[in-house]
Amino acid sequence: MNLRNRRIDMEWQLLEALADANRMMFASLTRSENEFRVDMRESPAWVGGIHERKIETAHLLRYVYPRYYPSLPLEGYFVRPISHVNVDLMTGFVCLWQDYRPAQTIVDAILITRAIMAGEVANLDLAHRMQQDAALELEEPHTLPLTPLTLPPACRPLLSQQHAGRRRLTSELDTQVPRENKRAISNPE
């Protein structure tokens, strides 16, 4: 078994552990050769155009592992795109990584995805903007309430450092029951 396949197996184990600790938020998980499908609940996000926007809490996501993973990052897609500056309305692609590192895992991707869904983070760099109308809406804060995830010890995210352009997500990882903490809104520089 090569490095890529071993790593994807490890990613699946991390995702299963995260889902087991958060049964109310993960309705189902499906694995294929290069893709995980995650049916996420209790995770609010804005959907629809400017005039018919509404909040939905159930979302089907695809996390795709490219041929050269982990040298190249996994990709996230909303099956039904949400309204966010970093989500492509045609493909559902969500820009998860500003400064990807191969040590980042599916847990990091889930935490970033949820922060994007709740409107808590946005990468305003022109190269990462996919919905210009959503970028204009960021001038008026509209973060949505987000129930924190319980993070099992095996699911410690790498996102504990701060980088320019987007403040990274962090988790308070105590020895009891770690939970996802509040994430900071991006630095618009």
Task: Give, in words, the CATH class of 3-180.
Answer: alpha beta
CA–CA distance, 143 with 139 (Å, rounded to integer): 12
CA–CA distance, 133 with 3 (Å, rounded to integer): 41
Q: Where are the domains of the chain?
A: 3-180
- Whether residue 74 is predicted with pLDDT greater than 80 in this model: the reply is yes
pLDDT digits (tens, 9 = 90+) for 91-123: 999 999 888 999 999 999 999 999 999 988 888
What is the per-residue pLDDT for 142? 73
- Amino acid identity, position 44: P
CA–CA distance, 49 with 10 (Å, rounded to integer): 38
**164 in the Ramachandran plot: left (φ > 0), alpha (ψ -120 to 50) or beta?**
beta
pLDDT band at 134 (very low <50, low <70, confident <90, very high): low
Look at the alpha carbons of 66, 33, 78, 154 in this order and tell me if their dihedral is positive or negative: negative
Residue closest to 83 by CA, chosen among 127, 41, 130 = 130
